[in-house]
Amino acid sequence: MKASTATLDKARDEFVTQWGALGSAWGINRTMAQIHALLMTSPNPLSTDEVMEQLAASRGNAHTNLKELVNWGLVRIVTRKGERREYFEAEKDVWKMFVTISKERKRREIDPALGVLRSCADQTKGETSPAGKAFHTQMQELEEFVAFAGKVADVVAGMKHTSALQWAMRLLG
């Protein structure tokens, strides 16, 4: 049985709203996450105007977030012959989205954190006070853990979808 257009629209609206809320929880602004959800579930590429209309977003907000999604590699710009307007489509392959997000978050979050931890550990290498030694040790332990997490993320992102699932099932089983 086919879902009615009203049912589909309601389900899509619910998904877009909830994806936006999840985005906020993950440190991504709500509008960016909602645009991503809208494009992910759209059968056709959408223009900035269509995104604005469907999300009741301002032109500036829609444009800025679309460009950021393109920068993340989650959305592509699509051009149509004879039209000056740009259209946008999201990557729909869930594994590719996961890999893209993992790599980008590592680049934006883990790598800078590692730099800070290494710098703090290097600066306190010669500390002799108990507090200084404790701080240095803590920085080294955090650096080791964050570096390990980054390597795990790299390995998982480099795996094929089925290999990653098999690995995860062995890990969890």
Distance from C-alpha of 63 to C-alpha of 60, rounded to nearest angstrom = 5
Q: What is the pLDDT of residues 36-59, one digit of tens each?
A: 999 999 999 999 999 999 999 999
137: left (phi over 0), alpha (psi -120 to 50) or beta: alpha
Last residue of a domain, one of 63, 90, 117: 90
**Which residue range(s) make up the domain with 118?**
94-172
- Tell me the mean pLDDT in the region 93-115: 90
Q: What is the pLDDT of residues 12-30, one digit of tens each?
A: 999 999 999 998 888 789 9
Same domain membership, residue 109 and residue 73: no
**Residues 16, 10: contact at Cβ < 8 Å?**
no
- The CATH number of whichever domain residue 34 belongs to comes to 1.10.10.10
